[in-house]
Structure 1
Amino acid sequence: MRKATMQDIANKAGVSKTTVSMVLNKKDSNISSATKDKIFKITQELNYIPNSIARSLSTRKSGTIGIMVPDITNPFFSEIARAIEDAANFFEYNVIFCNSDNEIEKEEKYIQLLVSKLVDGVIFIAGGKSTKSIDILNNNGVPFVLVDRYVEGYENSYGVYTLNKEGIIDGIDYLYKENKRKIVFVSGSSEIEISNLRLDGYKEAMKSYKIYDESLIFEGDFTIDGGKKATEEILENIKDFDAIFYSNDVMALGGMKVLKRQGYTIPEDVSIIGFDNIQLSQIVEPELTTIGQPIYDIGKESCKLLIDVINENDIHEKVIKFKPKLIKRGTVK
Structure 2
Amino acid sequence: MGKKITMLDIANKAGVSKATVSMVINKTDNKISEETRKKILNIAKELNYIPNSIARSLSTNKSNTIGIILPDITNPFFAEIARAIEDEASENGYNVIFCNTDNVIEKEEKYTKLLISKLIDGVIFISGGDSSKSIKILEDNNIHFILVDRYIESYYKYYGVYCLNEKGVKEGIEYLYSKNNKKIAFVSGPKEIQVSMQRLKGYKETMTKYGIYKNNLVFEGDFTINGGKKATEEILKINEKVDAIFYSNDMMAYGGMKVLVKKGYKIPKDISIMGFDNINISKFIEPELTTVGQPIYSMGKNSCNLLIKLINNENIDKRQIYFETKLIIRDTVSMTP
TM range (shorter): over 0.9
CA distance in 1, matches of 2:155, 2:239: 39
Of stretches 127-136 and 313-322 in structure 1, the one that deviates more from structure 2 is: 313-322
Q: Offset at 1:213? A: 1.0
SS at match of 1:326: strand
CA distance in 2, matches of 1:270, 1:35: 72
Number of equivalenced pairs: 333
Are 2:4 and 1:17 equivalent residues in the alignment?
no
Match of 2:70 in 1: 69
CA distance in 2, matches of 1:291, 1:30: 56
Q: Offset at 1:238? A: 4.3
Are 2:280 and 1:270 equivalent residues in the alignment?
no
Amino acid at match of 1:188: G
Match of 1:296 in 2: 297
After superposition, where does 1:18-37 map in structure 2 within 5 Å? 18-37=19-38
Q: Unaligned 5+ residue runs, structure 1?
A: none
CA distance in 2, matches of 1:137, 1:267: 47
Any idea what the Cα deviations from partners look like across 1:60-114, whole Å, max 9, x if unmatched?
1111111001011111011111111111111111111101100001110110111
Q: Offset at 1:12? A: 1.8
Match of 1:119 in 2: 120
Match of 2:95 in 1: 94
Match of 1:163 in 2: 164
After superposition, where does 1:129-278 map in structure 2 within 5 Å? 129-278=130-279
SS at match of 1:153: helix
Are 2:9 and 1:8 equivalent residues in the alignment?
yes
CA distance in 2, matches of 1:30, 1:167: 56
After superposition, where does 1:305-320 map in structure 2 within 5 Å? 305-320=306-321
Runs of 4+ in 1 over 3 A off after TM superposition: none
Any idea what the Cα deviations from partners look like across 1:297-331, whole Å, max 9, x if unmatched?
11111111111101111111210110010000000
Q: Offset at 1:239? A: 2.6
Any idea what the Cα deviations from partners look like across 1:100-152, whole Å, max 9, x if unmatched?
10000111011011111111100000000100000000000000000000112
Any idea what the Cα deviations from partners look like across 1:12-47, whole Å, max 9, x if unmatched?
222222221111111222322222111110001111
Amino acid at match of 2:154: G
Amino acid at match of 1:204: E
SS at match of 1:331: coil
Amino acid at match of 2:256: G
Amino acid at match of 1:279: N
Any idea what the Cα deviations from partners look like across 1:233-285, whole Å, max 9, x if unmatched?
00001431111000000000000000011111000011000000001111211
CA distance in 2, matches of 1:317, 1:34: 45
Amino acid at match of 1:99: N
CA distance in 2, matches of 1:178, 1:171: 11
Q: Unaligned 5+ residue runs, structure 2?
A: none
Q: What TM-score comes out, normalization by structure 1 length?
A: 0.98
Of stretches 226-235 and 34-43 in structure 1, the one that deviates more from structure 2 is: 34-43
Amino acid at match of 1:259: L
CA distance in 1, matches of 2:247, 2:142: 38
CA distance in 1, matches of 2:112, 2:239: 43
Q: What TM-score comes out, normalization by structure 2 length?
A: 0.97
